């Protein structure tokens, strides 16, 4: 199949690359804002990046180590150590050295974390739904499919 863009007409700031960046940054900004202004969550001062980690933890059925989390969301290991520090100091999760392998840090949500997560998820869902206003279900599925195909092409 032929290339999508060619040298004569390719406008870096009109194409898929530019749009992806813009949409992604607007989406994160909107999520940060929504988490910051939600009455139930404001006191926790959760950033979008922190939500991602909490969500990965809450929705994973298997036990999670720090490195599991890194792999799951493509995050740097050093950054993850500090991310866990921040979330631990907020009381949303806790570390435990795993007894059978004391190298690994087992991470789990606290009661507070379990209590706050559903609200975070609701807020995040609201933001995404707002960005998809006017989309039919079929269009949303197609968009997901396009993005998945791009991801496969990346490898």
Partner DNA sequence: TGACAATTACAGCCTAGGCAAGTATATTGA
Partner DNA sequence: TCAATATACTTGCCTAGGCTGTAATTGTCA
Question: Tokens 């949500």 sit at which residue?
Answer: 109
> Considering only residues 27, 30, 49, 55, which one is a binding residue for DNA as defined by CB under 7 A?
49
Indicate which of its own copies, DNA, none lies near residue 110 (CB less than 5 to 8 Å, by partner kind). Answer: none
Site membership for its own copies, residue 13 (CB under 8 A)? yes
Exposed/middle/buried for residue 53 (C-beta within 10 Å: 0-12, 13-18, 19+): buried
Site membership for its own copies, residue 142 (CB under 8 A)? yes
Please report the beta strands in the chain, taking only residues with DSSP state E, as ranges in sequence order.
Answer: 64-65, 93-98, 101-109
| Candidates 55-63, 74-82, 124-132, 147-155; binding stretch for DNA (CB under 7 A) | 74-82
- The alpha carbon of 91 is separated from its chain's Cα centroid by a whole number of angstroms, namely 20
Max intra-chain CA distance, the chain: 61
Nearer to DNA, 95 or 119 (CB): 95
Cα torsion at 142, 147, 153, 155 (round to 10°)? -140
Q: Print the binding letters for residues 34-53 with its own copies: x by CB under 8 A, - otherwise.
A: -----------------xx-
> Considering only residues 27, 67, 110, 126, which one is a binding residue for DNA as defined by CB under 7 A?
67
């Amino acid at each position: 199949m032929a290339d999508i863009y060619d040298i004569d007409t390719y406008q870096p700031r009109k194409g898929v690359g530019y749009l992806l960046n813009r949409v992604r940054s607007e989406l994160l900004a909107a999520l940060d804002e929504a988490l910051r202004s939600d009455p139930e969550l404001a006191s926790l001062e959760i950033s979008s990046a922190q939500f991602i980690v909490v969500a990965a933890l809450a929705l994973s059925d298997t036990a999670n180590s720090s490195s599991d989390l890194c792999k799951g969301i493509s995050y740097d290991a050093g950054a993850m150590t500090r991310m866990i520090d921040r979330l631990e100091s907020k009381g949303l999760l806790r570390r435990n050295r795993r007894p059978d392998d004391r190298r690994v840090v087992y991470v789990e949500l606290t009661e507070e974390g379990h209590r706050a997560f559903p609200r975070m998820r609701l807020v995040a869902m609201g933001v995404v739904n707002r960005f998809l206003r006017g989309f039919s279900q079929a269009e949303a599925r197609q968009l997901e499919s396009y993005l998945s195909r791009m991801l496969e092409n990346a490898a």
